[in-house]
Amino acid sequence: MLKTLIFVALVAGAAYVTKPDEADAEDALRAQLTLALATEDLSGRSIEQRLALAACKLDVSTCYDLVRPEIATVYTDLGVISRIKMAGLGKTTTCYGVFTKFFCPGGLKDA
């Protein structure tokens, strides 16, 4: 029993020390946007939308800088983990940070 408690305390301590911060959350948002752009289909869109998506696929960094103000984020420190909720441009997601990484179950979803 004591060994189990010590193990749990060590894991919780390691999770707390390696919990991602807000800068890491911003990196997770950039990764989600990059993934969404890479998988976005151009068919069935207006010519303007096709051009905008094609331009974004060519230069994701500039595209991110342009759309970032349209995305609301809420970072929450939950002790041993962190959470970021994101919403904007008709999409939402919630990501959880633990051991230096953010995990976004389900990825971006339609709002």
pTM listed for this prediction = 0.68
Token pair for 97: 């940070």
- Residue ranges of the domains in the chain? 2-39+70-110
Token pair for 70: 């349209």
- What mean pLDDT comes out for the span 7-33? 78
Q: What CA–CA distance (Å, rounded) separates 55 from 104?
A: 26
Q: What's the start-to-end Cα distance of the chain, in Å?
A: 46
Q: What is the CA radius of gyration of the chain?
A: 18
Q: pLDDT (tens digit, 9 = 90+) per residue, 22-68?
A: 888 888 778 877 777 767 766 667 787 777 777 777 777 777 787 88
Q: pLDDT (tens digit, 9 = 90+) per residue, 64-108?
A: 787 888 889 899 988 888 898 988 878 888 989 888 888 888 877
Task: Fill in the amino acid letter for 34.
Answer: T
Token pair for 67: 């759309």
- The DSSP secondary structure of 15-64, one letter per residue, reads HHHT---HHHHHHHHHHHHHHHHHH---TTS-HHHHHHHHHHHH-HHHHH
